Amino acid sequence: MTQFYTASPSEILARYVKRYWAMDHAGHTGDETAQRIVPSGLTELVFYFGTPPGISGGHSHFEDSILLSGQQTVPYDLNVSGALSLFSVYFRPEGVRAFFDIPCDELADRHFPLRFLLKNETGELEGRLYDAATFRERVDLIESFLMGRLKRMDNHYLLKRLSQSVSLIGEYNGQVGVDRLAAEACLSRKQYERTFMHHLGVSPKQFSRTVRFQYALAQKGMHPAMSLTSLAHYCGYYDQSHMIREFRTLSGFTPSEFFSEGVPYSDFYQ
């Protein structure tokens, strides 16, 4: 039976980490399933235990079992063959830069093997997580690892500025202009857009599109009977046609097709 676990980060790490989650024993030997992954506005560090899943059509599998996934701008499919267990860290949109010295624009729409960043630490960390008996033990191990990484980085002041930007975009559900965001960050628009891209991986406009999409998922999840016309208006789309175009870009489906698969869920707003 598939089991899911979630946990909140410690107070210090909560500025950078949204939550930890894990899944154990999804599927059975011989089963093949596909899971559509859509842009969430978050970055993720995933530890796969066993054979990693395939991606986009099932023609290839991830070559590594520990992957740092950047901001997405397009959807893709995970193709799972057999049982799957994983442990994941969901970072806040700007949070990953507090731990890893990598330009996030190089991570966008990519799944980056952690061993390329931490050649000497990855194997030991993977082994300790694999041997952990409980989800709580894994959370404690990853928190210790992240605290050690946090002390090595010195860009927290700039991340605080960007955190305020992300909060503002979330507060306005993706409907806030870049000029205002730049002014709030005390940067010129050009400086702001360059800094935002470097630390989050996508432009402020692209990130806001993702947040508005996530807001639509959250609202439809809370109000299943809401019409698509009302949803489009409530979420700030110009009209229903605009929302349909955005859904096709970000999920690969129209809103009707997407919502017919089940109750929508927003990783960003949960």
In tens, the pLDDT along 80-126 reads 876 788 999 999 999 999 999 889 999 999 999 999 888 778 888 98
Express each pLDDT in 55-77 by its tens digit. 875 445 567 889 999 999 999 99
Distance (Å, whole) CA 146 – CA 100: 10
Same domain, 103 and 173: no
Same domain, 34 and 77: yes
In the structure encoding, which two tokens stand for residue 197, read together?
Answer: 């891209």
Look at residues 110, 127, 150 and tell me which one is the last residue of a structural domain: 150
Q: How many CA atoms lie within 13 A of 255 on its CB side?
A: 25
Range of 248's domain? 156-270
Same domain, 246 and 192: yes
Quick one: which of 62, 114, 68 has its CA closest to 84? 62
Domain count, the chain: 2
In the structure encoding, which two tokens stand for residue 27, read together?
Answer: 């599927």
Give the angle subtended at the CA of 223 by the CAs of 219 and 226, to the nearest 5°.
95
Q: What's the CATH code of the domain at 17?
A: 2.60.120
Distance (Å, whole) CA 197 – CA 201: 5
Q: What residues form DSSP beta bridges with 183?
A: none
Distance (Å, whole) CA 219 – CA 172: 14
CB 84 within 8 A of CB 53: yes
For the entire predicted model, the pTM comes to 0.92
Q: What's the CATH code of the domain at 229?
A: 1.10.10.60
Look at residues 120, 150, 180 and tell me which one is the last residue of a structural domain: 150
The rounded mean pLDDT for the chain is 91
